[in-house]
Amino acid sequence: MVNHEEEEEDIVWLDGSFFINDNYQLTSFTFGSHVLQLYCLHSASTDFDLTGQLVWPGAMLLNDYLSKNAEMLQGCSMIELGSGVGITGMLCSRFCRQILLTDHNEEVLKILRRNIELNVSSENPSCCAALEAEKLEWGNSDQINRILHKYPGGFELILGADICFQQSSVPLLFDTVEQLLKNRGLGHCKFILAYVSRAKMMDLMVISEATRHGMLINEVAGTRSMVGNLEGVIFEITLC
Ligand SMILES: C[S@@+](CC[C@H](N)C(=O)[O-])C[C@H]1O[C@@H](n2cnc3c(N)ncnc32)[C@H](O)[C@@H]1O
């Protein structure tokens, strides 16, 4: 006869937190004259959905580009898609007027909010922007509409670093970008994408999705470079 009490004793209950590495380390990054400090992991989790816990090569490429072209950030309102730990937002907070950092992953949003708190603390006088984080899953119109309701002026700049790596999410990413670009009208908003090439298929998909969504995609001259052992480039994307 089966003894149910003994069987239950053999079951080990593990909640979700058991599988999450949240041993974040305070880490310094330097871009030109800007030193940023934030919490992040130093190696990736095996969970594909937790990519945002660390700083990716695309963010290094984007921050390097922005630190050399900071005049484009001066006084503007910016939204970032797939912010991860928020390293790009931290740099932009020194120049922009208003910043919204977004991500779809709840665990990533937790560390993103912790980094925002660290960045806006009174010991950090270099942060001059209003800096916030919101959940945004690409293609989720309700979430986008809620954001646009909260920020009625929309955003002059949309930023994305290393966010094109999964084929199924790229069309949704461009749906979101289209909605944000259209909200500001022709010529009043641009999407700056730091793209890191890992597969030919994705290289082609980014171009074709931008075109399919009625956008003009231009490679910024002089930005094609090696980031580690991968090739990256900055694209400037606007409505046609
Ligand atoms: C490779 S990481 C890049 C993080 C950061 N931009 C960087 O370069 O360090 C991709 C980020 O996009 C977010 N992401 C992936 N799919 C998403 C989706 N469908 N909607 C919103 N965010 C997404 C992930 O949670 C993660 O933070």
Quote the number of domains for the chain.
1
pLDDT in tens, 136-172: 999 999 999 999 999 999 999 999 999 999 999 999 9
Radius of gyration (C-alpha) of the chain in whole angstroms: 19
- Cβ–ligand 1 distance for 104 under 6 Å, the answer yes
Please tell me whether residue 2 adopts helix, strand or coil conformation. coil
Residue 129 binned pLDDT confidence (cut-offs 50, 70, 90): confident
How many angstroms is it from 192 CA to the middle of ligand 1? 15
- Cβ–ligand 1 distance for 195 under 6 Å, the answer no
Choose one of 43, 62, 105, 143 to mutate for the ligand 1 pocket test, by most ligand atoms within 8 angstroms of C-beta: 105
Q: Return the CATH number at 122.
A: 3.40.50.150
The torsion angles phi and psi of 26, rounded to 5 degrees, stand at: -70, 120
Residue 128 binned pLDDT confidence (cut-offs 50, 70, 90): confident
**Does pLDDT of 1 surpass 60?**
no
Query: Which residue stretches of 153-212 are H helix?
Result: 170-184, 200-212
**Does pLDDT of 71 surpass 70?**
yes
Distance CA 22, CA 182 (A): 38
Distance CA 145, CA 143 (A): 5
Closest Cα to atom 12 of ligand 1: 82
Rounded to an integer, the average pLDDT of 36-48 is 83
- Cβ–ligand 1 distance for 55 under 6 Å, the answer yes
- What sign does the CA torsion over 218, 232, 108, 175 have? positive
Domain assignment of residue 228, given as a range: 4-239
* Bridge-based pairing state of the strands 130-135 and 34-40: unpaired
